[in-house]
Amino acid sequence: MDITIFTPMRTALALLVLLLLRPVCAQDPTLVPELLRALRTNVPDSVHAQILVKLCYNLTAAHPDSARLFGEQALVLAERIGHDRSIADAHNNLGWLAVSQGDLKTGEAELRHALQLFEEIGDPAFISVVRSNLGWLAEHKGDRVTTLKEFQHALKLSEAAKDTGNIAVLLYNIGTTYNRMNEYARARDFFGRSLALEHTLDRPDKEAICLMGIGNTYRSEGDHPQALKHYEMANVLFTRIGDPISMGLIAENTAGLYEADEPLKAMRYYRRALRYYTSAGSAIDQAYALQSIGRSQLQQQALTEADSSLNAGRALALGHGQNELVMDFERLLAQLASARGDSKATLAHYERYMALKDSMQSASSENELLRLRTEFETERAEKDNELLREKDLVSTQRLRTRNLQLYGSLGLVVLALFGVLLVWRNLQQKRKHSAILEGLNAELSEKQARIEEINALLRLKVLRTQMDPHFIHNCLNAIKSLSLAGEHERAEEYLDGFARLLRMVLEHSVRDRIGLEEELDFLRYYVKLEGLRMKGEFTWSIEADPALLDEGAMIPSLLVQPFVENAIWHGLSSKNGPKDLTVRFAAMDHGVQCTIEDNGVGRTAREDGRRSLGLKLTGERLQLLTERMKSTGEFHIEDLRNEAGGPTGTRVVLRLTGTSA
């Protein structure tokens, strides 16, 4: 088996985790203390039963044993007082609890009982919930045909009940089922409909899940640009709501897109996913991320690093009883031992892999037998239903023939009138929607044109202020002086550096963002040339956190230089004694912070004409970047003073959020 199959397997498993969370998306263990307090109050038995039902529901995922206890207590009390709603709720919650723990037989019995009771009550919203749970039961059995039927039945019931929230969830569930059946176009249609409703309901977490589902369909079809586009949109929402598990899953899926062609870029995304999972304390997700990292390191022959990653992931998987994941780790460790030429270790890992595989296949065979038996029973029931439908069709046809002459003419008139009204209504709706869409498109086009125009103007302004004529004139005079003094080599070095700096300015001015390493090179060349013109002792340092360089951070181009220029020529040039300049890039939450500090004369002693123009243009450019690149930026200036209150320099702190690798 080739090792490259584990990335799509991880994607499928991760998607299944999200799917299994959908039926219980409203569970909230934080409500348990309040429910327990309500349980101790003097309330009617019917209310008491409902509190027990809610405790069972909200503890299903977090504490299943406690959930079962409360569910059974609710059932006993509800049956004693004859409260039908609570009886049905208890059977439904106990059924879903059994399904989530793998006891499919008990789960089906409880859910069927709940369905019968809710149908007697007659509320379509409650019936829809049970039908949805039966759909997930069929998914656990591997019977996707039944899964789809149950979800579609539940959707019709929720539409009848006008339950928009559950409609959105069921549309997503149907899309997921089509996706697992490799019908990607249909899956995207249902994901898109769910996304539209979730946006209306203002549920950004579920919007992000829909976007990730759409991205996964494109990924399965090999359309990586569309997959990346939807992953990025989902990541924006997950970042906004602070969901590290989902952010890690997005990073893993993105890494999978790059793994074949850009392994180093894929590794950065895998490590990012590992950091998210670690911050969330999710050991299983950490194990999956370590598996991907170790596999990639093994492919790149980084054997020592692969050994560390794979053994760490295997330990996490063992600690949580994930036998299938442990089996995958044993196989990769066998390949690692083989690459090292350790035949004994290779054999040991392979034997453990085969033992786990045999165990998994036995369990899989039992599940397959259960699935085949379910399919057989379903097929037989469908045949019986078909016979009943044929008999009913004959009776209906006879009745229709008797009444056709009496009601035929009237029916045709009503249908014709209804058709005319429907066509007229559709035309009116179409005209209305077309007018709205045209207005929105015109507004968006106008806004985009304005942004592009402002951006072009600001680029020219900033470019002209970065390397103004005074700097060029002074540099040429310095080169001329060195040449006249006979220092030709130094003059040539100065000229080469000046030409390289001009070229870097021209290259950077046409790009919105550049890599941090490119920005460091540009600033160092700039300060080095300015230092040749500085009188007296001048020291400088331009550094960045290694973590930012490893992650390949991106920042807006030609944005830091005006602050550095201001520090040199308005803070340090007129100072007597040692002159020191420090520029430091550091990581912050979702972005980069740049600090420019000098020990110059301070702002009160400066001539602010040119400095104010450069800072004004920089502020305009930051405002444009906020709107155009969905990022934010700000800067503030601090005056440094000694104990006596005298100026000792200036510090500028520039914060840029929304930067990415």
Q: What is the pLDDT of residues 180-194, one digit of tens each?
A: 999 999 999 999 999
In this structure, the strands spanning 591-598 and 579-588 are: antiparallel
pLDDT band at 413 (very low <50, low <70, confident <90, very high): confident
**pLDDT over threshold 90, residue 387:** no
> What is the sign, positive or negative, of the torsion defined by CA atoms of 413, 418, 423, 424?
positive
Residue whose C-alpha is closest to residue 188's, from 179, 180, 197? 179
Contact between 158 and 166 under an 8 Å Cβ cutoff? The reply is yes
**pLDDT over threshold 50, residue 503:** yes
Q: What is the pLDDT of residues 208-237, one digit of tens each?
A: 999 999 999 999 999 999 999 999 999 999
How far is CA 368 from each of CA 13, 137, 227, 361, rounded to the nearest angstrom? 19, 15, 33, 10
Q: What is the pLDDT of residues 546-589, one digit of tens each?
A: 988 888 888 888 788 889 988 988 888 888 889 999 999 999 88
Those residues with Cβ within 8 angstroms of residue 508's Cβ, 6 or more apart along the chain or in another chain: 514, 518, 522, 557, 558
pLDDT band at 485 (very low <50, low <70, confident <90, very high): confident
User: Residue 171 and residue 374: Cα distance in Å, rounded?
Assistant: 25
Longest dimension (CA), the chain: 118
User: Residue 544 and residue 614: Cα distance in Å, rounded?
Assistant: 24
At residue 660, the pLDDT reads: 55
Contact between 655 and 556 under an 8 Å Cβ cutoff? The reply is no
**pLDDT over threshold 70, residue 611:** no
At 183, is the secondary structure helix, strand, or coil?
coil
More confident residue, 271 or 23: 271
User: Residue 248 and residue 640: Cα distance in Å, rounded?
Assistant: 41
Q: What is the mean pLDDT of residues 463-489?
A: 72
Q: What is the pLDDT of residues 521-533, one digit of tens each?
A: 999 988 988 887 7
Q: What is the mean pLDDT of residues 314-343?
A: 89
Please give the share of the chain, as a percent, with pLDDT higher than 90: 37
At residue 361, the pLDDT reads: 65
Those residues with Cβ within 8 angstroms of residue 523's Cβ, 6 or more apart along the chain or in another chain: 542, 560, 561, 564, 583
Contact between 53 and 96 under an 8 Å Cβ cutoff? The reply is no
More confident residue, 300 or 465: 300
How far is CA 104 from each of CA 93, 96, 129, 138, 369, rounded to the nearest angstrom? 14, 9, 17, 9, 14
Residue whose C-alpha is closest to residue 556's, from 511, 495, 586? 511
Burial group, residue 320, by CB count within 10 angstroms (0-12, 13-18, 19+): exposed
Q: What is the mean pLDDT of residues 447-459?
A: 71
Give the Cβ contact number of residue 322 at 10 Å: 18
Beta bridge partners of 582: 541, 597
At residue 379, the pLDDT reads: 53
Q: What is the pLDDT of residues 102-145, one digit of tens each?
A: 899 999 999 999 999 999 988 898 899 999 999 999 988 889 89
Q: What is the pLDDT of residues 38-79, one digit of tens each?
A: 888 888 998 999 999 998 888 887 788 998 999 999 999 999
Chain centroid to Cα 196, Å, comes to 18
Query: Mean pLDDT, the chain, as a whole number?
Result: 82
| DSSP state string for 91-147 | HHHHHHHHHHTT-HHHHHHHHHHHHHHHHHHT-HHHHHHHHHHHHHHHHHHT-HHHH
pLDDT band at 471 (very low <50, low <70, confident <90, very high): low
Token duo for residue 527: 């300060």
At residue 18, the pLDDT reads: 39
Token duo for residue 487: 């220092």
pLDDT band at 2 (very low <50, low <70, confident <90, very high): very low
Residue whose C-alpha is closest to residue 287's, from 311, 255, 263? 311
Q: What is the pLDDT of residues 260-313, one digit of tens each?
A: 889 999 899 999 999 999 998 888 899 999 999 999 999 989 999 989 999 999
At residue 610, the pLDDT reads: 47
At position 171, the amino acid (one-letter code) is: L
Token duo for residue 52: 């027990």
**pLDDT over threshold 90, residue 403:** no
